[in-house]
Structure 1
Amino acid sequence: MAYTIKIEGYNEHQINVANFAKALSHPARVAIIELLYERGGCYCGDIVSQLPISQSSVSQHLKELKEAGLILATEQPPKVKYCLDKTKWEMAKQFFCHFFDNN
């Protein structure tokens, strides 16, 4: 989810890095990203079985990652399959590399 703070005066790169960093600011979200990267995609129940948190917590973390654009959700009723948005993931990697290389 994008920041709801005043963003005037910050450049697009700074805003993007902050948004991706916020999306990755919880260990559960990092674990979810790692799991999706390793498996190429999986269902919410698969993620729940791998993490020490409830299904509702996993759902909330998936929502945050989806709003940041890092993951995609494909409806396969009655389930939803999640995977990395490879384009956004590469963008996030480039933003972070640029940030760390230049600071």
Structure 2
Amino acid sequence: MGPFIEADLNFHRALAAATQNPFIPILIDSIVDLLRDQRTRIAQVKGGLARGQFHHKKILRAIEQRDANAARDAMRAHLRQVRRDANAAPARKRKIFSE
């Protein structure tokens, strides 16, 4: 599962770099641990990773075709999908105090 999640994060990093806005990659890098945790939880939702990959392909296709409207719509659909899957994922187990 680790390599799949790292590939997912690299997709997000590539999109951030493609914006040509120097602050977007910094933002992504600042939340990469949060994103990794979220992807790990979504991986436990049946079909969660496949849905994410489906949406990533749609986003990439729209970008390759230079269709800003389609890219925006695909991204919005992806964010809705991620929200649903994250809400369906098991709760994050977090240590408050180390032993």
Is TM-score (shorter-chain normalized) higher than 0.5? no
Return the TM-score normalized by structure 1: 0.30
More helix per residue = 2
More strand by share: 1
TM-score normalised by L of structure 2: 0.31
* Relative contact order higher in (CA < 8 Å, ≥ 6 apart): 1
